[in-house]
Amino acid sequence: MNFDELLCIQAADEKPSTTSLFRIAWHSFNQAVHNPSIAAVQTAIILLLKVPTSNFNLDSSFKYSVLGSAVSVANSLGLNLDPSRWQIPIWQVRLRRRLSWTLFTIDTWLSMSLGRPRHISPENWIIDKLMKEDVEEEYDPGSKSVDRLLRSSKLTNIVDSILRQLL
């Protein structure tokens, strides 16, 4: 919106409705499931990270279902595999690794918080941690964001090992 001449003026007075944006994302994801793409996975991640609209309804059934669909789309795209040796541009390798790690992280934490089985089988999901190279391009190499993401990756691996022991 900031870069569009008309939208930036509209945004000055009113912010877009989060409900409307959610409906657009939900409709887009449902259409994209039939034709898996990186954009479909990114849309699913937006839906999964949506803040609950009510303190009494945490959307757990919805999020668990969307995560199952997102993991299915990701598997169709090969996001469960390490693309490091593929003949694709390095930016795409890093994007695929970030998306794979993000889904692994959401699956791990959602499984732990809901007490439900995981959608991702750790034995079949290669990308379970984030590497510095995966995020340096997106953030300033010396920034705190890179450090926080790497720490989050380590913490997710600790939770993952606990979940594996519980099975």
What is the model's pLDDT at position 136?
Answer: 72
Model pTM? 0.84
Domain ranges of the chain: 5-166
Q: Are 111 and 163 in contact (CB under 8 A)?
A: yes
What is the model's pLDDT at position 78?
Answer: 96
What is the model's pLDDT at position 114?
Answer: 87
Residues in CB range of 8: below 8 A, 6 or more apart: 1, 2
List C-alpha distances in Å: 134 to 39, 92, 114, 131, 140: 18, 10, 29, 5, 12
What is the model's pLDDT at position 52?
Answer: 75
What is the model's pLDDT at position 133?
Answer: 83
3-state secondary structure 33-44: CCCCCHHHHHHH
Q: Are 110 and 68 in contact (CB under 8 A)?
A: no
* Tens-binned pLDDT, residue by residue, of the chain (167 aa): 666 776 666 666 677 777 888 889 899 999 988 899 999 999 999 999 887 777 777 678 889 999 999 999 999 999 999 999 999 999 999 999 999 999 999 999 999 988 899 999 888 898 878 888 888 766 666 678 888 888 999 999 999 999 988 86
- Measured CA to CA, the distance from residue 112 to residue 118 in angstroms comes to 9
List C-alpha distances in Å: 133 to 88, 99, 105, 150: 16, 14, 18, 11
Rounding to the nearest 10 degrees, give the CA dihedral for residues 120, 124, 100, 137.
150
What is the model's pLDDT at position 131?
Answer: 84
What is the model's pLDDT at position 144?
Answer: 82
Question: What DSSP state is assigned to residue 84?
Answer: G
Q: Are 81 and 132 in contact (CB under 8 A)?
A: no
